[in-house]
């Protein structure tokens, strides 16, 4: 059985989920649904990152003990993803005891194999990034992502011999051109590997930070938060049992935003090498969403909350916008206007109209009963079926390349073809001539097949809509009803339901 393991970053449990996080969830959820529908064994992991300086400070600011604080924030993340109907298989928290134990096991293995040493270090630390920055990474003496001067920290700590694995990692990336995708990010990692990467400081003295996983061989220290959080990708899977790990780990696809390429592209694979574990298959890197052309930030007050968008437009419209409006790897822009245009044009007009026209005619001309197809199909009927088959083939190719926008474009071009087929065959005119009633029945039957095909192909992208379509067609949610070849989905006489407005047009009043 073919398998896929899909992961999201673990969100820092110090803030509310926002548009950027929702985007990662929507693309990974779409992929998980897509691969499940294709019969793949699928495991989909998400969760929260709960240790370290950043969280300890946020908890202190809130005046609550860190565990109580992260319990609350982690639950809020989980609630939002549940409300968005994100179909993750497991939600991991880095405070979960099985994770803590596994991180300690890895530390012990790596220590025993001689890849950890004790030493003194001075470096420039950015709490926002939760890592030391090199002089080269700074812009005007500041962290380019958080725009603050890093703090000089000098202390005795444990170090992981990361540098030892540098050449092996570089060779691996050169030999596996799609290890990091898209290519721009692969080049970024290779550029990092052209300079000495040095060793990684993996502990914090408890005198400075207690909120972390204790180093198993020195109780005066806790583990550096990235050395803890990255391991979730393995601990979350091992928690399902060794069999799951063996089955899914070789098919790992990590999804992250572009600001955390270094921990995932350099720290993590070298940690895996030191732990004697195979490397992940792909690191997929997406860009950063801006909002109305501006960087999204709390201080600008322009953060977009996923549940607000859902409440205004519905989850499927939000998903459609995120997937259709962005190019994977690039920086997309969230604009209210573009969302409303997409909604009205693509969903209300193109999709909504097709469904309501077809079902309205079926209802009016045949009381909802599907009519038989003749043995020989007209050429326009064959062309309609072929157009959908072509869209499906294109869609599979685009999904492999994470080109969600093009997969949807392919579906919408078949949808356009179906709308043109309605105009060209003109069943609403033919029905006036009783001699043509048989042909009208056939035309509508083919159109219902188009709707059934849409119900199947849209399901990973717009799950609620796909369910509505199935319900309108009166077909069951099983592989046979959905996958039956074109022309074999409905028995003559099967009753479909009266139309329903799936996407009421959003009028100017809502455009604020």
Task: Write out the binding residues for ligand MSP, residues 261-290 only, by CB under 6 A.
Answer: 288-289
CA–CA dist 432, 154 (Å, integer): 87
| Closer residue to ligand MSP, CB minimum distance, 9 or 269 | 9
Task: State yes or no: residue 9 binds ligand MSP (CB under 6 A).
Answer: yes
User: Interhelix angle for 66-83 vs 306-313, to 10°?
Assistant: 20
Show the binding pattern over residues 133-172: x = contacts ligand MSP (CB under 6 A), - = does not: ----------------------------------------
Show the binding pattern over residues 300-339: x = contacts ligand MSP (CB under 6 A), - = does not: ----------------------------------------
CA proximity to 414, closest of 340, 486, 467: 486
In the complex, least distance from residue 202 CB atom to ligand MSP, rounded to whole angstroms: 14
User: CB 68: neighbour CB atoms within 10 A?
Assistant: 10
Task: State yes or no: residue 12 binds ligand MSP (CB under 6 A).
Answer: yes
Piece in contact with ligand MSP (CB under 6 A), picked from 7-15, 96-104, 186-194, 499-507? 7-15
Beta bridge partners of 124: 133, 152
Task: State yes or no: residue 11 binds ligand MSP (CB under 6 A).
Answer: yes
Beta bridge partners of 120: 156
Task: State yes or no: residue 239 binds ligand MSP (CB under 6 A).
Answer: no
CA–CA dist 487, 377 (Å, integer): 10
CA proximity to 438, closest of 494, 375, 484, 497: 375
Piece in contact with ligand MSP (CB under 6 A), picked from 10-18, 31-39, 381-389, 497-505? 10-18
Task: State yes or no: residue 212 binds ligand MSP (CB under 6 A).
Answer: no
| 3-state secondary structure (DSSP) of residue 46 | strand
| Closer residue to ligand MSP, CB minimum distance, 55 or 414 | 55
Task: Write out the binding residues for ligand MSP, residues 17-46 only, by CB under 6 A.
Answer: 20-21, 23-24
Query: How many residues of this chain bind ligand MSP (CB under 6 A)?
Result: 19
| Closer residue to ligand MSP, CB minimum distance, 28 or 232 | 232
| 3-state secondary structure (DSSP) of residue 201 | strand
Piece in contact with ligand MSP (CB under 6 A), picked from 3-11, 308-316, 393-401, 481-489? 3-11
CA–CA dist 124, 149 (Å, integer): 9
Q: Which two tokens stand for residue 292?
A: 């109305």
In the complex, least distance from residue 20 CB atom to ligand MSP, rounded to whole angstroms: 2
Chain residue at closest Cβ approach to ligand MSP? 257
CA proximity to 228, closest of 40, 101, 412: 101
Is residue 326 within 8 Å of 512, Cβ to Cβ? no
| Closer residue to ligand MSP, CB minimum distance, 126 or 373 | 126
In the complex, least distance from residue 259 CB atom to ligand MSP, rounded to whole angstroms: 5
| Closer residue to ligand MSP, CB minimum distance, 327 or 378 | 327
Q: Which two tokens stand for residue 395?
A: 């869609």
CA–CA dist 268, 234 (Å, integer): 11
- For 225, residues 6+ apart whose C-beta sits below 8 A from its C-beta are 49, 51, 52, 53, 54, 130, 212
In the complex, least distance from residue 299 CB atom to ligand MSP, rounded to whole angstroms: 14
Task: State yes or no: residue 259 binds ligand MSP (CB under 6 A).
Answer: yes
The full DSSP string for 241-264 is -HHHHHHHGGGEEEEEEGGGHHII
Show the binding pattern over residues 45-64: x = contacts ligand MSP (CB under 6 A), - = does not: ----x---------------
- For 329, residues 6+ apart whose C-beta sits below 8 A from its C-beta are 181, 182, 184, 185, 285, 286, 287, 402
CA proximity to 66, closest of 229, 212, 230: 212
User: CB 243: neighbour CB atoms within 10 A?
Assistant: 8
CA–CA dist 96, 104 (Å, integer): 13
Task: State yes or no: residue 103 binds ligand MSP (CB under 6 A).
Answer: no
Piece in contact with ligand MSP (CB under 6 A), picked from 8-16, 36-44, 243-251, 307-315? 8-16
Contact residue for ligand MSP among 56, 59, 234, 260 (CB under 6 A) = 260
Contact residue for ligand MSP among 123, 257, 352, 463 (CB under 6 A) = 257
CA proximity to 113, closest of 276, 277, 280: 276
Contact residue for ligand MSP among 138, 277, 296, 304 (CB under 6 A) = 296
Task: State yes or no: residue 237 binds ligand MSP (CB under 6 A).
Answer: no
In the complex, least distance from residue 92 CB atom to ligand MSP, rounded to whole angstroms: 10
Beta bridge partners of 150: none
Residue identified by tokens 């955390």 is 260
Contact residue for ligand MSP among 73, 230, 315, 384 (CB under 6 A) = 230
Task: State yes or no: residue 92 binds ligand MSP (CB under 6 A).
Answer: no
User: CB 430: neighbour CB atoms within 10 A?
Assistant: 16
Task: State yes or no: residue 66 binds ligand MSP (CB under 6 A).
Answer: no
Question: Which parts of this chain interact with ligand MSP (CB under 6 A)?
Answer: 9-12, 20-21, 23-24, 49, 229-230, 232, 256-257, 259-260, 288-289, 296
């Amino acid at each position: 059985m073919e398998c896929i393991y899909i992961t999201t970053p673990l969100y820092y449990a110090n803030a509310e989920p926002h548009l950027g996080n929702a985007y990662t969830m929507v693309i990974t959820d779409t992929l998980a649904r897509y691969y499940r529908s294709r019969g793949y064994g699928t495991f989909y992991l998400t969760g929260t990152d709960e240790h370290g300086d950043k969280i300890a400070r946020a908890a202190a600011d809130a005046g609550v003990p860190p565990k109580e604080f992260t319990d609350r924030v982690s639950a809020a993340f989980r609630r939002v993803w549940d409300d968005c109907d994100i179909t993750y298989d497991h939600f991991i928290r880095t405070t979960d005891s099985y994770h803590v134990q596994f991180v300690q096991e890895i530390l012990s293995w790596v220590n025993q194999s001689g890849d950890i040493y004790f030493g003194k270090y001075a470096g420039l630390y950015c709490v926002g990034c939760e890592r030391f920055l090199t002089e080269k990474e700074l812009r005007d003496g500041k962290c380019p992502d958080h725009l603050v001067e890093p703090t000089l920290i000098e202390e005795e700590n444990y170090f992981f011999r990361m540098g030892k694995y540098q050449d092996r990692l570089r060779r691996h990336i050169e030999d596996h051109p799609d290890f990091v995708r898209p290519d721009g990010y692969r080049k970024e990692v290779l550029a990092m590997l052209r300079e000495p990467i040095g060793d990684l400081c993996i502990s914090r003295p408890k005198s400075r930070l207690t909120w972390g996983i204790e180093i198993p061989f020195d109780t005066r220290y806790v583990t550096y938060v990235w050395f803890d959080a990255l391991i979730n990708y393995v601990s979350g899977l091992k928690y399902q049992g060794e069999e799951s790990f063996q089955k899914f780990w070789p098919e790992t696809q990590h999804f992250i935003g572009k600001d955390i390429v270094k921990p995932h592209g350099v720290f993590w694979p070298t940690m895996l090498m030191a732990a004697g574990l195979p490397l992940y298959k792909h690191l997929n890197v997406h860009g950063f969403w801006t909002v109305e052309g501006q960087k999204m930030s709390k201080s600008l007050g322009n953060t977009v909350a996923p549940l607000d968008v859902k409440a205004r437009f519905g989850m499927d419209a939000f998903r459609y916008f995120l997937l259709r409006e962005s190019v994977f790897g690039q920086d997309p822009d969230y604009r209210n206007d573009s969302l409303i245009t997409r909604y009205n044009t693509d969903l209300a007009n193109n999709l909504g109209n097709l469904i309501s026209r077809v079902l309205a005619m079926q209802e009016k001309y045949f009381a909802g009963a599907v009519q038989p197809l003749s043995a020989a199909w007209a050429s326009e009927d064959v062309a309609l079926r072929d157009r959908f088959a072509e869209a499906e083939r294109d869609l599979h190719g685009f999904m492999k390349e994470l080109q969600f926008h093009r997969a949807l474009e392919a579906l919408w071009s078949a949808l356009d073809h179906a709308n043109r087929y309605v105009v060209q065959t003109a069943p609403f005119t033919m029905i006036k001539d009783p001699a043509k009633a048989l042909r009208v029945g056939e035309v509508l039957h083919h159109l219902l097949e188009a709707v059934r095909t849409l119900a199947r192909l849209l399901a990973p992208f717009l799950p609620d809509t796909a369910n509505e379509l199935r319900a309108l067609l009166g077909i069951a949610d099983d592989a046979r009803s959905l996958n039956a070849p074109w022309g074999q989905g409905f028995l003559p006489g099967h009753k479909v339901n009266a139309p329903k407005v799936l996407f009421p047009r959003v009028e100017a009043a809502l455009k604020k």
